[in-house]
Chains A and B, each alone.
Chain A
């Protein structure tokens, strides 16, 4: 009897070993196949994109995320995808960008269900992939727990802030955007115990003088009232049109004049 148990234990250890070693020290993108189709066998490099999140978040409903993808003028990144593997839906957002942004730097706020590693994959104009990751400990504190958000909150008016004027022709400045929207995940129970139907903003885009310079796909892990700050490096005065569309087809638009500072 005893030897057989020991035998089984050995077998178990052998079966578990690969799993154990895989999670320790293996990059996050290798621990999942959510991006396998996109990567198509490519092995991402590590120094083309950086992310920053709090090491510890006391409130998983709204965790600040910063992405630093560097300059876009000469080559640079064209697409960034954000993943949170500990969430029910691992994909957080996709950003497609055009060199007119100047820099692939973004700030947003995301939902993290539990302690986990957040990672981004980025693809450059030359087809190279880059990866970055960071572990976040989510220690939801009862002290900070928020009350349930309103259920029938409609899509509100957008807020936009941009430099007035932008520093100089081709010099990036930060554009901040925020729109009131519940971003219902479809996973939350309402007061009657039934699940509140899913309703999220799916698409956001920014057009500079008629050309799309940024298009974003949001998933349910983007915090309520989606906030996104990005860089824009206009060459000359013009117009910036921002557009949001949610799953029900409801849309909002904002238009801002872009002014570029004149060099003396």
Chain B
């Protein structure tokens, strides 16, 4: 396979966005023979597969993903609020396969045999690998919250994996009466997308303002503080008045029991709340294949070597995205994408028997309060004394003009378009 010059220039720009520029990695490494298997076609896995082929076109890169279409969690709250269509959240793997030379295998990874370096698929096929990248995202913990299991989720949706659950929650919000209560159950850290529940609250309120102005949003939270809290609380008040109420752990916000039949929840100090729609975001853990492969510890998440994201527990297996313990990096789509670039370079270095390049990671998370009102947080991370450290970062200013908030909303839309294009686009 060869790459023309124009394309290589674009790749240079792309790899910069993947965090490789500062790493000083040669764009095309010498032919690194071998096969890298990537499990999971989300922001981490799909980006890693693409980066591997861009950096080393002769490498055999296999991406295992059961879904034909990937639905993004980013912007799925906008769908709930009526600002985006469900279709706009979907991205397929055609370009990765046809234009970028990634072999996409539409199947489920069932087991990893680290001794034999093989992945077993749902149909029994065994795929050998030289290096394995797991980017399985999260699984919900069905044993963590009394009364909340898979059957209960059909009545009290989580919608914390975009797809059928998002549509179910949207249908319930549309079907409820004006004046009805929307209640959200929010877990303690760590969980996927720290600001996500609070953006969702704003998006549900956005829908209520237009269609159910007498309805309220009640957030019951297992913690006392949350991401961008001051900005969210200010934005909620400015845009939606007193429509959104947040109750933290110390205000008796921790839900310890749910009753799907009664559509009610009970808190740690015994208060019972009933609501027209209940959105339960339960505690989470690394996706199934990470747990099966033995890369997770008793926390349910995968500890990794900070510089490369190689598993601390199983050699030649790398874990990126929400499944990994990357703190202080949050479990965000941007972080998964940033880790994908750094880890792709580390995998290639490992195959070529070179030391891994110096890593740099970035994060930006936008949260929409209204169609033309967004807030953001950014972080810049490096390796210091063998640990990931946040070196710079910040949030949107608390005092800003409406134009400023509007520009951030525009940035959010551009971010989504650029990010999905750079992973699943042509």
Contact = CB atoms under 8 A, between A and B. Distances in A.
B81 to A, nearest CB: 22
A55 interface: yes
B394 interface: yes
Interface stretch (A1-9, A66-74, A135-143): A135-143
A145 B227 CA distance: 7
B414 interface: no
B330 interface: yes
Contacts, number: 86
A55 B230 contact: no
Contacts of B387: 139
Contact of A176 (B269, B328, B395): B269
Nearest to B195: A143
A262 interface: no
A22 interface: no
Given A56-B299, A58-B327, A144 B226 contact: yes
Interface in A34-76: 54-56, 58-59, 61-62, 64
A146 B224 contact: yes
Q: With a 10 A CB-CB cut-off, give which of A56, A141, A225 has the most chain B CB atoms.
A: A141
A59 B299 CA distance: 16
What's the interface size class on A, roughly? 20 to 34
Contacts of A59: 189, 223, 225
Contacts of B188: 64
A216 interface: no
A147 B248 CA distance: 14
Interface string A144-168: 1111000000000001110000000
Contacts of A178: 250, 252, 269
A159 B254 CA distance: 13
B379 A139 contact: no
What's the interface size class on B, roughly? 35 or more
Contact of A142 (B252, B297, B303, B394): B394
Contacts of A142: 328, 377, 379, 390, 393-395
B268 interface: yes
B327 A159 contact: no
Does more than half of chain A's interface fall in helix, strand or loop, or is it mixed? Answer: loop
Given A59-B189, A62-B223, A180 B250 contact: yes
A224 interface: yes
Interface in B303-348: 303, 325, 327-330, 332
A137 B363 CA distance: 21
A183 to B, nearest CB: 11
B66 interface: no
Contacts of A54: 299
Given A142-B390, A143-B379, A225-B224, A55 B189 contact: no
Contacts of B365: 143
Contacts of B329: 141
A55 B299 contact: yes
Given A56-B325, A225-B250, A143 B394 contact: no
Interface in B390-416: 390, 393-395
Q: With a 10 A CB-CB cut-off, give which of B249, B297, B388 has the most chain A CB atoms.
A: B249
Contacts of A64: 188
Interface string B213-229: 00000000001111101
Contacts of B363: 143
A58 B268 CA distance: 23
Contact of B225 (A61, A137, A161, A227): A61
B250 A143 contact: no
B270 interface: yes
B379 to A, nearest CB: 6
Interface string B164-191: 0000000000000000000000001110
Nearest to B297: A55
A139 B327 contact: yes
Nearest to A179: B250
B224 A224 contact: yes
A218 to B, nearest CB: 15
A140 B328 contact: yes
B298 interface: yes
Interface of B: 188-190, 194-195, 223-227, 229-230, 249-250, 252, 268-270, 297-299, 303, 325, 327-330, 332, 363, 365, 377, 379, 387-388, 390, 393-395
12 contacts: A55-B297, A55-B298, A55-B303, A56-B327, A61-B225, A64-B188, A139-B388, A142-B394, A143-B194, A143-B363, A161-B270, A225-B224
